[in-house]
Amino acid sequence: MNLPIYQVDAFSDELFGGNPAAIVPLEKWLPDDLMQKIAAENNLAETAFFVPTQKGFHLRWFTPTVEIPLCGHATLASAFLLYNKLGYSADAVTFETTSGDLIVRRKDDGFIMDFPTSKAHPVATPDGLDQIIDAKVNGVLTCEQSIFSLVLTDSEEDVIKAKPDFNTLMKIAPGNFILTAPSEKYDFVSRVFVPEHGIPEDPVTGSAHCVSAPYWAEKLGKTELSARQVSERGGDILCSLRGDRVDLFGKAVLYLEGRINIS
């Protein structure tokens, strides 16, 4: 078996920025355990697989350890690949996923992804969370529709300097969380930690903004938001709230293409 594979840096217009995703286009599904092994071998935050359907494409996402229900950067990378390498030319592409139909359309030199929002609500702050995250914690919110909790802190500097102790963190809660704060240059900044899914820190996370953007929209009283994920690689996301949906705008760039040889 010989399969095409591509790697795309999503939420960036420059190589080595944003969040890298591997994309494997398929004509039909591989066994789940084989797709998981490919994702583990790639050892990226996400490997996406898609197959054609009558609507568009059925899309699935795998971390190195588990299949997940929603991923923004690998969806963006998949759309970029379809339009820029695989000859897709319709005005929009529909991805059928476990989180419903996700529609992506081109805009200028980037893409707009139509994603569902997830409403977060306050919960008690676990004892010692400040010390475990190494940042002042002003509150914690959780969300039943998402794997992420929101952890609020004072400033962009607090978010950048945080050094979570994952071993201790996973013994309490939250295990997967978005550390976020207001910013002078952007409406808000964040970092995203997903140790329960084998990703200590995710560089730029579209799905996390399904949780953080609605929170900041309500907090700031606006529906158009500029966001920056201040990881080492970093990336920008423009968020536009529409009721229970959010449009996420980002760019992408192709890093590599090759073949997977499976004997």
Active site residues: 46
Nearest Cα neighbor of 7 from 260, 254, 261 is 254
Only one residue has tokens 């989180």, namely 99
Contacts 24+ apart (CB under 8 A), 144-148: 145/116, 145/118, 145/119, 146/70, 146/118, 146/120, 146/207, 146/210, 146/211, 147/68, 147/69, 147/176, 147/194, 147/196, 147/197, 148/118, 148/174, 148/176, 148/177, 148/178, 148/192, 148/207, 148/208, 148/211
Cα 193 from Cα 183, distance rounded (Å): 19
- CA distances to 54, 133, 136, 207, 220 from 204, rounded to whole Å, are 31, 19, 22, 9, 22
Residue 116's DSSP bridge partners are 245
Nearest Cα neighbor of 259 from 15, 58, 5 is 5
